[in-house]
Amino acid sequence: MHILLPPSEGKTAPSDGPTLDLTRLSFPELTQARRKVLSKLIEVSGSDDAGRILKVGKRILPEVAAQRNILDMPCAPACEVYTGVLYQAARLRADDRVIIFSGLFGITTAADLIPTYRLSMNVTLPGIGSLRQFWRHELAKAGRNEAHSSNDSKESKESNAIAQVDSAESPQPTVDMRSGAYQVTAPQGQWWSMRVVDSHGNVITHAAKHYRGLLTRALLDAEHSAHSERSDSWSKEACNALCNAERTPECIDVEQVARSLGRIEVTHDGRRHCITLLPESA
């Protein structure tokens, strides 16, 4: 299962830790692209037009100015730096298998060491252009390259997730929790999206982040349980209920897990399956 996440505007700056080392991030084929974006971010953060270019208000300008020294900032796992609504609900751990999209790094894992930063995907950087277009191109290029790799290193296995996400032949479903700005790649194969509505059928936006986080956590817990030979919190019957009998144990029944959050409806459009959730509290 591949879970695609956005970053969060809400971040917690690490109090200590190593400084940023782009060469040690997952998906090393993106290193040069990351270095290019990082260099421009440092340059822009020290300019008089930083707020306008980065699309932030006056309250955020001190954080933006601090990014001139981003290479000296302490880093922590991405799952600890991102602390917005979705991430509070998801309670990510470093060993959780997710792919996090971002304007600065393209994609990372939950374990990658990153600093706090301000750079949304909907920004246009001088000398680079639209970050959405930039990362769409770089990720597509990396996906094609990785599809032909036979290297079994940890880095290559992680990087291969790019090709798997965009592969129509991937047997594992993709669950897309990204907001619109971060949908720079279109999932192929069987994939799931989620929207949240109130009792009147109106789409909920901000609170939807919370429920996407809850579903992320529930799916990851189900996956961890299916992978574990011994689980203190899941019975064999519970695991079987989450896994289609014709699939391998690692193939989680996304619809069944989503039902634990409230009343749902599922619509199917070819390979896409859209979950509409009416929370119990709505």
Helix/strand/coil (H/E/C) assignment for every residue in the chain: CEEEECCCCCECCCCCCCECCHHHCCCHHHHHHHHHHHHHHHHHHCCCCHHHHHCCCHHHHHHHHHHHHHHHCECEEHHHHECCHHHHHHCCCCCCCEEEEECCCEEECCCCEECCCCCCCCCEECCCEEHHHHHHHHHHHHHHHHCCCCCCCHHHHHHHHHHHHCCCCCCCCEEECCCHHHCCCCCCCCEEEEEEECCCCCEECHHHHHHHHHHHHHHHHHHHHHHCCCCCCCCHHHHHHHECCCCCCCCECHHHHHHHHEEEEEEEECCEEEEEEEECCC
234 vs 78: which has the higher pLDDT? 78
Whether the per-residue pLDDT at 144 is higher than 50: the answer is no
Residues 6+ apart with CB under 8 A from 173: 1, 2, 189, 190, 191, 192, 251, 252, 254
pLDDT of residue 237: 47
pLDDT of residue 126: 97
Side chain identity, residue 1: M
| pLDDT digit string, tens, across residues 82-135 | 999 999 999 999 999 999 999 999 999 999 999 999 999 999 999 999 999 999
Averaged pLDDT, 49-75: 96
Q: Quick one: CA dihedral 46, 47, 51, 53, positive or negative? A: negative
| pLDDT digit string, tens, across residues 227-274 | 664 444 444 444 444 444 333 445 689 999 999 999 999 999 989 999
pLDDT of residue 226: 75
| pLDDT digit string, tens, across residues 163-203 | 444 444 456 789 999 999 999 998 878 999 999 998 888 98
Buried b (16+ CB within 10 A) or exposed e, 67-78: bbebeebebbbb
pLDDT of residue 43: 98
pLDDT of residue 187: 85
pLDDT of residue 238: 44
Whether the per-residue pLDDT at 151 is higher than 80: the answer is no
Side chain identity, residue 71: L
pLDDT of residue 282: 56
pTM of the model: 0.83
Answer whether 125's CB lies under 8 Å from 132's CB: no
Question: Around Cβ 200, how many Cβ atoms within 10 Å?
Answer: 6
pLDDT of residue 164: 43
pLDDT of residue 250: 54
